[in-house]
Amino acid sequence: MRGEILSFDDVSGMGLISGDDGQRYAFDRAGFPGLGVPRAGQRVDFVASGDIATNIMPLAGETSARPGYTPGVAGSGSGLGSDIDWKHLMLSFEGRIRRSHFWIAWVILLAVGIVTSWLPLIGGLIGLLLIWPNLAISVKRLHDMGQTGWWVALPWVAGIILFFVGVGMIGMGAITTGQTWDDNPWAMMAVMGPAMGAFGLSALIGLGFLLWIGLMPGTVGPNRFGQDPKGGVAPETFD
């Protein structure tokens, strides 16, 4: 049977092939003997044993149907980010993404946000538009971990609550002391202390959430949100 390699993780040694029969087959490095490192988009011939691909052989002279892919040419399917579906990565809330793709997208969005923040008026609009792709990549990472995407609301809700708590502390402190910055800056700094603690806690929650979804490994093999983006297969598949 013939097909196309969808993905391969060099660390785990696991990959996934889309067969020409419309089915997907898992494989490990042992099924690709002495033929270099499998590449996403590579056309192969293989023997299907259930949902496992064995005896995999690259097809010389055949290229992927993926636009712009040329086997062995850097940047056409084998380079960093060249196998990323950017539209799905940045805009879709469906499916799963791997950690490396999440961080690539996150750094790009951060850089765009920093640059556009210096632009008057339009910078604020772009900042609002960037909320969508930030949510999209976070939800898909949660999916990869087997978690519901609704967890993405946690840092946002906590941030909004703690912001108003901090503002309320400042307002109540000012009313209670009857002081202003001009009257007694030291008294106002004492009022600001608890409020800054609320703001700091909000930042820590956001950072903790980012590290959680960015560093935790995804579930191996398919889960209820889709196929493993690394091409991994759950152990029971080999039974």
pLDDT of 176 = 65
Question: Does residue 109 share a domain with residue 77?
Answer: no
* 80-137 pLDDT, tens digit each: 455 578 888 999 998 899 999 999 999 999 999 999 989 888 888 998 999 999 999 9
Residue 30 located in a structural domain: yes
Query: What is the number of structural domains in the chain?
Result: 3
Question: Does residue 163 share a domain with residue 208?
Answer: yes
Residue type present at position 204 = L
Residue 236 located in a structural domain: no
Question: Does residue 96 share a domain with residue 55?
Answer: no
Residue-range definition of the domain harbouring residue 43: 2-83
Of 106, 129, 144, which residue constitutes the final position of a domain? 144
Which residues contact residue 199 at a Cβ distance below 8 angstroms, ignoring those fewer than 6 apart? 162, 163, 166
Question: Does residue 103 share a domain with residue 168?
Answer: no
pTM reported for the whole predicted model: 0.60
Residue 229 located in a structural domain: no
What whole-number distance in Å separates Cα of residue 184 and Cα of residue 159? 30
* pLDDT, greater one: 217 or 182: 217
Question: Does residue 6 share a domain with residue 79?
Answer: yes
Residue 53 located in a structural domain: yes
Residue 21 located in a structural domain: yes
Question: Does residue 90 share a domain with residue 135?
Answer: yes
Of 144, 162, 194, which residue constitutes the final position of a domain? 144
C-alpha separations of 235 from 77, 98, 144 in Å: 28, 19, 17
Question: Does residue 74 share a domain with residue 122?
Answer: no
What whole-number distance in Å separates Cα of residue 57 and Cα of residue 35? 8
* 140-179 pLDDT, tens digit each: 999 999 999 999 999 999 989 988 888 877 777 666 665 5
* pLDDT, greater one: 203 or 222: 203
Question: Does residue 69 share a domain with residue 90?
Answer: no
Residue 227 located in a structural domain: no
Question: Does residue 91 share a domain with residue 78?
Answer: no
Degrees to nearest 5, angle at CA 149 with 117 and 13: 95
Please write down the HEC assignment for all residues of 98-119.
Answer: CHHHHHHHHHHHHHHHHHHCCC
Residue 237 located in a structural domain: no
Say whether pLDDT at 235 is over 50.
no
CATH number at residue 58: 2.40.50.140
